[in-house]
Amino acid sequence: MLIEFSNFISMQRTDNFFTKTVNKRRLTWRFKGLILLVSILLVILLRNPLLYSFGKFLVYDSGEVSKADIVILEEDLNSKEGLNYCLDLYSKGFCREIWAVKIVDTSMIFTDEQYLNFINSVIDSAGYNVKLKYFIFDVEHPVTLNKSLQILDSMKAKNYNSVILVTNAFHSKRSFKVYDKIFKPNGITLQSKVYYTKAKLDEWYANSYGLRYVLPEYIKYVYYVFRGFI
């Protein structure tokens, strides 16, 4: 009888142990579910600041401008915002020349000649007397790296040693890092200034242009990092 009673007590303790274990598991899953729900709510509530930071990572502006030998307007030559910014720098005496740089792109509906005519029309309409040089490069990938190497050769030929790089804001960080890695060992100082077109920093995710520009730029940035280009 004593043995049977002891076995009964042992069975009760075992049942209680498993019951506690089950309860703990239930509480654990409920707690995990609560954490997941809170996380989702935080993402929803903070989505705008998070997306702003996501876009901000790609932007690099070096701040106050100082005088340089040249201003380089990189790539987006059909942007009045970028060109007008360069013309403003020139008119205020921040540079000797403006160099407009782009690559050959046969997929574009505009020819290189049409691009140059567009730039000249903007300059003429503004009444500027500007020393502006055009560089149209036919380079292989990585494009930004190979462009910077060709620009370096042109700068050495002119004995220039300071640059203000003007480019689309979401392209600016990668562009600055590439140029700076090439220029710095050659004693060339580099500043970065940015402009915005259809996609602004606080709303790039709200329109298709911003998404088409920012998301591919992240892929390019990661690629350049892993290849050691920046």
pLDDT tens digits in sequence order for the chain, 230 residues long: 444 544 544 444 444 444 445 455 555 777 777 777 767 766 665 578 888 999 999 999 999 999 999 999 986 666 788 888 999 999 999 999 999 888 777 777 777 777 778 778 877 877 778 878 888 888 788 888 999 999 999 999 999 999 999 999 999 999 999 999 999 999 999 999 999 988 899 899 888 888 988 999 999 999 999 999 99
**Per-residue model confidence (pLDDT) at position 14:** 47
The continuous run of DSSP H or E covering 114 comes out as helix 112-126
CB 61 within 8 A of CB 193: yes
Domain extent listing, the chain: 2-45, 70-226
Residue 46 CB-half CA count within 13 A? 9
pLDDT of residue 157: 94
Nearest to residue 230, comparing CAs of 178, 167, 170?
A: 178
Residue 78: per-residue pLDDT:
66
Structure tokens that stand for 126 in this block: 């503004």
| Sequence-distant (≥ 6) Cβ neighbours of residue 54 within 8 angstroms | 205, 214
- Angle CA 45–47–49, to nearest 5: 105
Q: Where are the beta strands (DSSP E) in 13-75?
A: 70-74
Residues 121 and 27: their CA atoms lie apart, in Å, by 71
Partners of residue 189 on adjacent β-strands: 162
Question: What is the enclosing helix (H) or strand (E) of 149?
Answer: helix 143-158
Q: State whether CATH 3.40.50.620 applies to domain 70-226.
A: yes
DSSP letter assigned to residue 186: G
Amino acid (one-letter) located at 118: F
Return the pLDDT at 45: 57
Q: pLDDT value at position 29? A: 73
pLDDT at 128: 79
What is the model's pLDDT at position 121? 80
What is the structure's pLDDT at 26?
Answer: 55
CB 165 within 8 A of CB 191: yes
The whole-number pLDDT of residue 57 equals: 96
